[in-house]
Structure 1
Amino acid sequence: MDKLILGRYIPGNSLIHRLDPRSKLLAMVLYIIIIFWANNLVTNLLMLAFTLVVILLSQVKLSFFINGVKPMIGIILFTTIFQMLFTQGGEIILQIWIIRITSFGLSQAALIFMRFLLIILFSTLLTLTTTPLSLADAVESLLKPFEVFKVPAHEIGLMLSLSLRFVPTLMDDTTRIMNAQRARGVDFGEGNLVQKVKSIIPILIPLFASSFKRADALAIAMEARGYQGGDGRTKYRRLKWTLKDNLALLSVIALGALLFFLKNP
């Protein structure tokens, strides 16, 4: 639980903390788009240097970012190895039976690894420096113009804020249920893969049951307090866009322009 990063906010007063959550969310979207232009050594080094500078500006310990990468390391390695083994082209470096590792496959695997790593670091930075409620408000504010197309901006923001709010609660419930099942003799680490999957069922059923009960209680509480949705409601937390937010977005756009000219055709 202490290493849970999703939905976790680290209080601070750094430059990144003080940015408007809308600018940070837009910067994250732009970052994901321009990272696909980083397809050589120079562009990837630029992306890495930019990310490290932003991390330093956030004044958040590097250990938090490492904890953010750890849960995804299996997926990163699997995707990287898959890319290396099944992407052909260039000079053959190693061949064992039908398995062939080529220079092009290695370069593509390195690109995939860097993209995964950088996206996880930047998204972890977003969640660590932005409160979940501010992030939900930013999503709602950015979706406001799409209400003319019947997009429920307020409802989407509400769902996001409630989801982020109950992530730690669900983790607490999961830990409590696992401890109760262990007390009844269930061992989640023994047996083959099928047996391990079956051992998860005694966790999922009570977890779903408690989640539905909590959702029902929350809906009743909101109705009892007269909740009517977003129409006519005022905001307790007001977002304020400043010059720093313009400069933050311009820095990401400038990085994207630089990558576009330096990328391989």
Structure 2
Amino acid sequence: MDFHIKYITPDIKLSTYDDKLFKTETVFEFHMLVWFISGETKIIQADQSYLFKTGDIFLIPRNHLATIINYPKDGLPHKAVVMHLTKERLKDFYSNIEVKKENIRKEVKIHRFEKHPLLESCLASLIPYFDMKDTFPETIASLKITEAISILREIDKNIDSVLADFDEPGKIDLIDFMEKNYMFNMSLEKFGYLTGRSLSTFNRDFRKIFQTTPQRWLTQKRLELAYYHLIEKNKKPSDVFMEVGFEDLSHFSFAFKKQYGFAPSLVR
């Protein structure tokens, strides 16, 4: 694995990856504005998948689960400029802007922005700074992030519904959330946080509702989804195990054979 990250500030980075693929399952604590220089990324959420290629610009909202798979492409590494839009910085930005409460909607989708010269030039202007030996001034970094937020608001009139939402996850329906998000290989602490519960409350509520432990239920649901992909979609085990929440192919194959009595490679 050859994965490099260069930071010019804690909130602006250049990531480079030139191995076969890099996969992570995560929930971000802040919004991520991403511009692809090269490579491809597949992002899988509960109800939708996205494929991003060279030149694409998109925003991943905070506090939403996603599986992210990065690929090199056409002999070039996976390379992207990433800007963190933290809650603190956004609160400061919106402190003098009135946003009506009814315009704040809970957005779960990833926002893709059509090619726009202002947004492209803003992000492209960061590239030379990654080669600087001196410390990048925080004042300039703040100006760059403010510029990016201002451009987003100019080209997407609905973006305030995402950027100006500062609420933390509240207690939500556990059945609905888990049925939509079980394929994400998150810690139980994260599942608890996203459903508005402490770990102990999450475990207690889960056992009461599902009559089993979270670990057993998650494994069962992921194997059922894998079986569906193998038999109905004619996919290969190597293409399935990551999408359904398993860390590696050998662990997936062992659990699948234990559940169904035969290896996943025999389904086809």
* Same fold, TM-score > 0.5, yes or no: no
TM-score range, shorter chain: under 0.3
Considering fraction of residues, name the structure with more helix: 1
- Structure whose alpha-carbon radius of gyration is higher: 1
Q: TM-score, normalised by structure 1?
A: 0.25
User: Looking at both structures, which has the greater relative contact order when contacts are Cα pairs under 8 Å and sequence separation is at least 6?
Assistant: 1
Considering fraction of residues, name the structure with more strand: 2
Q: TM-score, normalised by structure 2?
A: 0.25
